Structure 1
Amino acid sequence: MINGGKPMTFAVFSCSQYQAACQSTKIGRAVEGRELATIHDYRQRLGQYRSDPDLQFSHQIALWIVVWLSAFQIGKLLDLSMLETRHYERDITDVRDTKLLAAIIPDRSLVGANQEKWPLDTLSESKRQGVIWRIIGYVKSILSYDPATGRGVIGVEFAGTGVTSSAGPFDKGNFTQAVGYSTECVRNNVDLQWGEGYYRGFFALTMNSKPLNATYYSVRNVSNALSLHVFKSAFRNFDGFASANFTVNAGENRLACPVASGHALSGALKSQVN
């Protein structure tokens, strides 16, 4: 029996930017020191991060698993494999011209040969041992399949956002425009069942021996002073809501239908896109 028979919950989020993108001064999180270049610089920055009382409290009450190469076994309930998909076996990481990059290193892969083999071996062994849930964590969207035949389907992929980062191509500054953009993404991507183009947020995964539920929590505004509560170096944002909930049944490699029960409080759901 795992966790006393109670469901196990993971919060899955990206919060790598302590300074919350360009809002550092506004929310009292300006970083100290210069651009990181030496071991002293990194130690100084880490010390500043760890001075945050909220971060200290979070480490006290919950286990943290960061996205670097590692594996975790939690009884027969869960096998978790973490992949590094940003720098592992990447000789060049800052060339944004993908055609040029392909010409320089034609056989360059996202995770590298070793990481491609390792999770496959891990997943196979996990299945042989009868583990209920097999989860791979990574920082890039990598799955694709043929929706007509089902070929290539190995599981369900939940891709979240950075909690404090800018919205990138979705950052239209207008709710209607952002929703329109996410709607187009869902309409034009056969793999994508739901897209959130306006709110930053994070996923909470709750699992037991039967279903796995994934809830996306949207944060209304990470830079609005009215929604930020700053105490010393602490940054608390209570202005959020559960915008969509998804279910995966044990033993299945797809979302339970109707997806998100046919309704989401924000974003674009494929069943609602014409």
Structure 2
Amino acid sequence: MRFSCVPLVQFSLAGFAAANFFHRNLAYHSPFATHPQLAHDTAKINENGIQRRQDIDSAAFRDGHYTTFYGGDFSNTPFIWGGGVNFTHAVASGDPFDTSVLLWTRAVPLSSSSGALPNVDVPVCVAYQVGTNPDLTGRIISYGERFTSYDVDWTVKVEATGLKGGYKILLSSRMVQSTLRAHNTTADIFIHLGDYIYESLGNGAHIGRQTLGRELATIKDYRQRLNQYRTDQSLVYAHMHAPWITVWDDHEVSDNPWKAGTADSNDTAVGCAFSASGACFTDRKLAAVRAYHEWMPIRQVDPQDKLRIWRNFQIGKLLDLTMLDTRQYDRDITDMYYNTEYVNTIAAFANRSLMGAAQEKWFFDTVSESKNRGAVWRVVGQQIVFTQLNELGAFDLDAWDGYRANRKRVLDHISQNRISNTVILSGDSHANWVSDLAYPNDTTTYDPISGKGAIGVEFAGTAVTSGSSFGSGITPTAANVISNQLIDLNPDLQWSEGSYRGFFTLSIDPNHLNATYYGMNNITFANLDGFATAQFVVKAGQNKLSRPVAGGSVLAGVLQAQVNVNSTDDNH
């Protein structure tokens, strides 16, 4: 696939409605496509920015659409940018279906040779082509043109259609001169479970990751932070070489959110003054959501439901990948540090919801339909640790432990409807956890040694570079002391590791699901010095981790009881 800039001399507006070329850029659609105040009116953008200049005498034209320049005289403004364009962040893809995929780029007008900035009201036209091979010498299967403008931070999102299952997605653009050497792991799809950015200034300066700006509150703030993160070379490489399927966690907006606020912002007078911007929670959240949809290759699921990103991907009969939103959508009040004791008193209330009633019903219907259609695996991507974790006498009330009845409803639905081969993926915690899914601490029906009584598996991963929840910079030896204590307290927990930063991969076929965890030896600079810390197998139909867990041996962390090493994968 290639994006390119179309100069004015190669592009004619005659014979079509130019508004379509704004409208067909999906960045203008999401996430507020039908909201009367927050939507982008592409017809109005076209009227003010292009056709009125094309069709009428513009000598006295004053543009009222571009609020930053309200009342400005644009009589000499060209109707389309004819200068150079910088594809500032290469290209990306996401949300693949069997016959289509979303493509993304960003096309920013270049300054003139004198250094003067271009008029930001001028739209840029971008052309794209999708071919059967990376250099586009084969058959072209999808192509088109789209407009972008500063209204959507110069981003472009299109849906490439006409694809066939099995195409490997390799992206290129004219601004890309070289790529990093091949990494030691490959993937057909990247799944990101949230915290793609952090809203705070962070503490990454000591490893060369000083963030720009301030704590995020306005659309400018969120755009700037996404812009900065997306300049990371390894992230560019990953986005170019495989489609991403993402959900947000909390920090894409702010720490520990619920449906009416976050840990440091709400719509009270105090909350509105949390930063120099004076932004209230509602404005802050809408700004964050808009910027996320501009910068991420993610589909707009439902234009009537602007906060909905929960969605499902059917990958043949092999699996359903179901992505949930357990953070931003319709979550009841969470632990915001000052109210921990209160949330602890209501954590088990039956009416507490982590997902909201609409999402919860959709989730149950989706996994049931997955079983009914004959899919082998059900992989659920969501943000926070699902399994109960007694953390030395305390529980993370911002995870599923703060919404225990909601968790029980999920376990009940899976168990009572005999929905087999369910694997939950979790992020957020900055540590590695692998568990059999079972009713918490119910060792009368679940045997942690054999796995009998389990109804699924959870794989939870750590952060790429952010510090461990066991303690930032904690050594493997010190982390294992804590892991040993956690293993003793939590019979469902089969592996705990809290020192190494990294990621994990899944390899899935009709008979096995394999999870391999990777740890990086050094995160102070970009490098490939990592190793496989542990490997786990789930056999289709067994609904538990195969025994001996991780083959009885790991290179980091602690296995449950460190026993049963010599047993075979049981049939008992």
Partner deviation per Cα, 1:29-88 (whole Å, 9 max, x = no partner): 222222211112112222222233332221111111112412111111110111111222
Q: Secondary structure at the match of 1:272?
A: coil
Q: Secondary structure at the match of 1:156?
A: strand
Where in structure 2 are there 5+ consecutive unaligned residues?
1-164, 168-185, 248-308, 388-437, 447-451, 565-572
Distance 2:491 2:455 in 1: 16
Structure of higher CA gyration radius: 2
Residues 1:251 and 2:544 are matched in the alignment: no
Contact 2:197 2:225 in 1 (8 A): no
Q: Secondary structure at the match of 2:515?
A: strand
Change beyond 3 A, Cα 1:12–1:187: farther
Q: Which of 244, 263, 281 is equivalent to 1:64?
A: 244
The equivalent residue for 1:207 is 508
Change beyond 3 A, Cα 1:195–1:20: farther
Contact 1:21 1:165 in 2 (8 A): no
Q: Which of 112, 118, 121 is equivalent to 2:362?
A: 118
Kindly provide the amino acid, as one letter, of the partner of residue 134 in structure 1: R
Contact 2:468 2:499 in 1 (8 A): yes
Q: Secondary structure at the match of 1:127?
A: helix
Residues 1:98 and 2:388 are matched in the alignment: no
Contact 1:187 1:273 in 2 (8 A): no
Distance 1:101 1:148 in 2: 29
Distance 2:225 2:187 in 1: 33
Change beyond 3 A, Cα 1:104–1:119: closer
Change beyond 3 A, Cα 1:99–1:71: same
The equivalent residue for 2:371 is 127
Residues 1:240 and 2:530 are matched in the alignment: yes
Change beyond 3 A, Cα 1:157–1:104: closer
Residues 1:217 and 2:518 are matched in the alignment: yes
Change beyond 3 A, Cα 1:10–1:205: farther
Task: Give 1:212 deviation, angstroms.
Answer: 0.8
The equivalent residue for 1:42 is 222
Change beyond 3 A, Cα 1:12–1:259: farther
The equivalent residue for 1:167 is 468
Residues 1:16 and 2:196 are matched in the alignment: yes
Contact 2:188 2:242 in 1 (8 A): no
Task: Give 1:128 deviation, angstroms.
Answer: 0.9
Distance 2:356 2:454 in 1: 21
Contact 2:487 2:493 in 1 (8 A): yes
Change beyond 3 A, Cα 1:201–1:12: farther
Contact 1:18 1:29 in 2 (8 A): no
Partner deviation per Cα, 1:78-100 (whole Å, 9 max, x = no partner): 10111111222235456223331
Q: Which of 458, 483, 491 is equivalent to 1:190?
A: 491
Kindly provide the amino acid, as one letter, of the partner of residue 253 in structure 1: N
Where in structure 1 are there 5+ consecutive unaligned residues?
229-235
Q: Which moved more, 1:240-249 or 1:140-149?
A: 140-149
Contact 1:262 1:271 in 2 (8 A): no
Kindly provide the amino acid, as one letter, of the partner of residue 496 in structure 2: G
Q: Which of 144, 149, 167 is equivalent to 2:445?
A: 149
Task: Give 1:149 deviation, angstroms.
Answer: 1.1
Task: Give 1:177 deviation, angstroms.
Answer: 2.0
Distance 1:202 1:21 in 2: 23
The equivalent residue for 2:129 is none
Distance 2:343 2:522 in 1: 36
What's the TM-score, normalizing by structure 2? 0.42
How many matched pairs?
A: 261
Distance 1:273 1:184 in 2: 16
Identity, in percent, stands at 49
What's the TM-score, normalizing by structure 1? 0.83
**Structure number with higher relative contact order (C-alpha < 8 Å, ≥ 6 residues apart):** 1
Q: Which moved more, 1:60-69 or 1:90-99?
A: 90-99
Q: Which of 216, 219, 232 is equivalent to 1:52?
A: 232
Contact 1:156 1:254 in 2 (8 A): yes
Q: Which moved more, 1:126-135 or 1:30-39?
A: 30-39
The equivalent residue for 2:330 is 89
Change beyond 3 A, Cα 1:191–1:168: same
Task: Give 1:112 deviation, angstroms.
Answer: 2.3
Partner deviation per Cα, 1:168-200 (whole Å, 9 max, x = no partner): 234473432211101111121011000002212
Change beyond 3 A, Cα 1:64–1:221: same
Kindly provide the amino acid, as one letter, of the partner of residue 100 in structure 1: Y
Contact 1:71 1:82 in 2 (8 A): yes
Cα RMSD, aligned residues only: 3.1
Kindly provide the amino acid, as one letter, of the partner of residue 76 in structure 1: K
Q: Which of 70, 76, 79 is equivalent to 2:320?
A: 79
Partner deviation per Cα, 1:186-240 (whole Å, 9 max, x = no partner): 12101100000221221100011111100110122323xxxx2xxxxxxx23221
The equivalent residue for 2:7 is none
Q: Secondary structure at the match of 1:110?
A: coil
Distance 2:188 2:536 in 1: 14
Contact 1:80 1:136 in 2 (8 A): yes
Task: Give 1:101 deviation, angstroms.
Answer: 2.8
Distance 2:355 2:479 in 1: 31
Change beyond 3 A, Cα 1:158–1:183: same
Q: Secondary structure at the match of 2:210?
A: coil
Contact 1:11 1:204 in 2 (8 A): no
Contact 1:70 1:81 in 2 (8 A): yes
